Amino acid sequence: MRARGIPRRWAWAAIAFLLGSLLVGLGIGPVPLRAGPIAESALSHLPLLHVHSPLSAPQEAILWQLRAPRVVLGALVGGMLAVAGSAYQGVFRNPLADPYLLGVAAGAGLGATLAIDYAGGTRELVPLAAFLGATASVACAYVLGRTVGGMRTTASLVLAGVTIAAFMTAAQTFVQQQRQQSLREVYAWLLGGLSTASWHDCILAGPYVVASATVILLHRRLLDVLSVGDDEAASLGIDVGRVRLVLVIAATVGTAAAVAVSGLIGFVGIIVPHTVRLLVSTSYRAVVPLAFVVGGGFLVLTDVLARTVLAPSELPIGVVTAFLGAPFFALVLRTTRVGR
């Protein structure tokens, strides 16, 4: 007798989905590339294999300097948002919790707007400012929630998050309206996107994403324990407050890093974990790892649509995640057993 982990066929399906998405993301664009040459080119970059890339120099540059960082960043950001969403849903035992619940989005928005408006012409400070704004706003929410609610309930923490988010959003709007000339740029950042993705962004966000996702993954069994409520989890020997703090920190740092390099991308953190729950299992042993893989693939695919539908101009990716995700999610809801 054992707890269900990830059923093998679902594990393979999720990995195939991610790999397929990556190939589509690398191949589709104004200069189409097929899977075979992409694979050969990839092998040619490995030492000792002596494989020759069939691609021309411009094709090589498009593949490795434009598309590859973009799909890698998409996979990292999508995976992180989906994992953080599952963690928040487990910690708050609330199916509507998303990674932005405690004010990450509002804080990042304020940080980014300040950096765009006041850091002169340079944009290099935007990710750092967004990251700091996001983490600071969750820290404020946590301290506020703790002082008013004593951590007895998660409701006080959620309310504190709503309060801080409202304040940060007001401040952000105030700063934004003062500088009309950068309105368009601020707006573009808020809508989120991967159009400026570079290897530099991957290196910036990657370590945080990997560390945060790993911490959450290691807590997958404890997330299941939390599902019986604070009291019963405590009577099973869990220090609920500490587990919640560790998970909130991990989810916040990971989300802040993702948001810092991609702006505010909505919906992934809710739709991906729930799709896994409805199709595979509600146990976090399955939800956390599958959400990372599927979330990554999902965001890469939506990004392909975002840059092809209105080519040569790009749609904000958040529009696509919702436009594509909502009907798909409705379909999943309809075709699976209700009440699970």
Interacting residues with other proteins (CB under 8 A): 1-4, 218-219, 221-222, 224-225, 227-229, 231-232, 234-239, 277, 281-283, 285, 339-340
Closer CB to other proteins, residue 1 or residue 46?
1
Closer CB to other proteins, residue 179 or residue 285?
285
Closer CB to other proteins, residue 135 or residue 283?
283
Q: How far is the CB of 235 from other proteins (least distance, A)?
A: 4
Closer CB to other proteins, residue 270 or residue 287?
287
Closer CB to other proteins, residue 28 or residue 278?
278
Q: How far is the CB of 239 from other proteins (least distance, A)?
A: 5
Q: How far is the CB of 288 from other proteins (least distance, A)?
A: 13
Q: How far is the CB of 223 from other proteins (least distance, A)?
A: 11
Closer CB to other proteins, residue 110 or residue 226?
226
Q: How far is the CB of 232 from other proteins (least distance, A)?
A: 6
Q: How far is the CB of 74 from other proteins (least distance, A)?
A: 29
* CA atoms of 17 and 154, how far apart (whole Å): 35
Closer CB to other proteins, residue 130 or residue 223?
223
Q: How far is the CB of 202 from other proteins (least distance, A)?
A: 28
